[in-house]
């Protein structure tokens, strides 16, 4: 059957990766979590002391970029793809609030974006793919057959992220999580290079009041229509 590219963009913690994974599993497409790639580069920058609370040495990070190699490998137990940084599985480390605090400044650096966008385009080339991020429908795959732009209230998104962090055993305050969500929204949507914005031909869905099942059915139907060439 005809395979398409599906771009899922939107604000942080809108559930992009949940719906993208559901769709990819159902359609038997490749799923790519581009946020994980920016998070892995952020971890690299933190471990090499290029970024901390007090400073961000952009030039050092740019110079070190050729030494950063990212790949996704399937975890044989869970069946889920996990990100590897220079051959090391960093999936358990990249979702912390610390990484979330530094990732948006890292994602403003054009050299970082160029490297990751090239890799993302190569991963999606010639196959059915569901990719989630901030600039998939605008920059990575501007010709994607289906573009979804997810949104939800900041409060609802912070609650979701807070529950996730607490479930993973991180000791965090809700107010810090909300502040981080709002800060990232601001940096992501005002940066010069590839700011977060809805592509003109994207379908916007506000899922503040939607359950996962309803959302899945709505978006799956859109995908089926595009695959069949109905719209
Ligand atoms: O989806 P996420 O929350 O894991 O993404 C982490 C950060 O990475 C997000 O705040 C902005 C950046 N990002 C980006 O700039 N472009 C993408 N395609 C994906 C993520």
The verdict on residue 226 lying in a domain is no
Report how far apart the first and last C-alpha atoms of the chain are (Å, whole number). Answer: 17
Domain count, the chain: 1
Domain hosting 18: range is: 5-217
Q: Mind listing the pLDDT tens digit for each residue in 92-138? A: 999 998 999 999 999 999 999 999 999 999 998 888 999 999 999 99
Count of CB atoms situated within 10 Å of the CB of 194: 19
pLDDT of residue 80: 87
Query: Is the Cβ atom of 115 under 6 angstroms away from ligand 1?
Result: no
Domain membership flag for residue 64: yes
CA dist 88 and 54 (Å) reads 27
Q: Kindly state whether residue 208 falls inside one of the protein's structural domains.
A: yes
The model's pTM is 0.94
Is 222 part of a structural domain of the chain? no
Residue 37 inside a domain? The answer is yes
CATH number of the domain that residue 208 is part of:
3.40.50.300
Give distance in angstroms: CA of 116 to centre of ligand 1: 11
**Half-sphere exposure for 120 (CA within 13 Å, toward CB):** 29
> Checking DSSP bridges between strand 203-206 and strand 81-85, what pairing results, if any?
unpaired
Residue 34: phi and psi, rounded to 5, are -75, -25
Report the percentage of the chain scoring pLDDT > 90: 92
Return left, alpha or beta for 68; rule: phi > 0 is left, psi -120 to 50 is alpha, else beta. Answer: beta
Q: For the chain, which residues score pLDDT lower than 70?
A: none
Q: Is residue 51 one of the residues assigned to a domain? A: yes
**228 falls within a domain:** no
What 3-state class would DSSP assign to 202? coil
Query: From the CA of 171, how far away is ligand 1's center (Å)?
Result: 23
- The answer to whether residue 224 sits within a structural domain is no
Please work out whether the CB of residue 138 comes within 6 Å of at least one atom of ligand 1.
no
Ligand 1 centroid–CA 178 distance in Å is 16
Q: Give tens-digit pLDDT for 77-95.
A: 988 899 999 999 999 999 9
Kind and range of the H or E element at 59?
helix 58-64
Listing DSSP states for 81-111 in one string gives EEEEETTEE-TTTTTSHHHHHHHHHHTT-HH
**Tally of CA atoms within 13 A in the half-sphere of 103 that contains its CB:** 25
């Amino acid at each position: 059957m005809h395979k398409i590219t599906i771009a899922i963009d939107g604000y942080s913690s809108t559930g992009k990766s949940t719906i993208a994974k559901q769709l990819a599993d159902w359609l038997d497409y490749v799923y790519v979590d581009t946020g994980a790639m920016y998070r892995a580069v952020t971890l690299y920058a933190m471990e090499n002391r290029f970024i901390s609370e007090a400073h961000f040495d952009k030039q050092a990070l740019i110079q070190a970029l050729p030494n950063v190699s990212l790949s996704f490998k399937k975890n044989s137990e869970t069946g889920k793809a996990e990100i590897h940084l220079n051959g090391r599985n960093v999936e358990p480390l990249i979702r912390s609030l610390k990484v979330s605090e530094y990732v948006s400044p890292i994602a403003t650096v054009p050299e970082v974006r160029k490297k990751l966008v090239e890799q993302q385009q190569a991963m999606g080339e010639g196959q059915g793919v569901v990719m989630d991020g901030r600039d998939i429908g605008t920059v990575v795959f501007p010709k994607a057959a289906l573009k979804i732009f997810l949104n939800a209230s900041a409060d609802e998104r912070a609650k979701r992220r807070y529950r996730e962090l607490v479930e993973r055993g991180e000791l965090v305050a809700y107010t810090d999580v909300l502040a981080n969500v709002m800060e990232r929204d601001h940096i992501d949507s005002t940066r010069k290079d590839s700011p977060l914005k809805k592509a003109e031909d994207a379908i916007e869905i506000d899922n503040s009041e939607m359950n996962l099942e309803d959302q899945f059915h709505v978006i799956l139907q859109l995908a089926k229509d595009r695959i069949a060439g109905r719209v």
